[in-house]
Amino acid sequence: MGIQDIIEGKKQWRAHVARVKTLPPDYQIVYKEMQKYLFKVGPVDLAEGPLLSGIVDFFEEGAASGKGVLELIGDDVAAFCDGLIKDSPTYADIYQESISGQSGTAGK
């Protein structure tokens, strides 16, 4: 990864954060909780994948239609996040495989 890649990544992240800041306050709170949860659970492709920007897209559409954030995702934020990453291998899966000696089961 070169310096240009790092700079471009920072620009993209700043643009992403700016989009989050335009959401209504309740959406911002839920997004930040989802982000913390996803960073903790650790889907392997979280940084490169479209998951976080897809959530912002989904929230922007919901806010534009006048829906509350919990109308979109339900009362259990963690369950909603788990549903989003159910087929994605996580760092926890990889760690579990490494200590159990199994291979090739992450994300299944």
- What does the pLDDT look like over 44-90, one tens digit per residue? 777 667 888 999 999 999 999 999 999 999 999 999 998 988 888 88
Distances (CA, A) of 7 to 2, 11, 12, 48: 9, 6, 9, 15
Q: State which of 6-10, 80-84, 86-90, 96-100 shows the largest mean pLDDT.
A: 80-84
In this predicted structure, what is the pLDDT of residue 8?
Answer: 87
> What proportion of the chain, given as a percentage, has pLDDT over 70?
92
Q: Quick check: 97 pLDDT over 60?
A: yes
Q: Tokens 């990864």 — which residue? A: 1
**CA-based radius of gyration for the chain:** 16
- State the Cα–Cα distance between residues 8 and 2, nearest whole angstrom: 10
pTM: 0.78
In this predicted structure, what is the pLDDT of residue 73?
Answer: 95
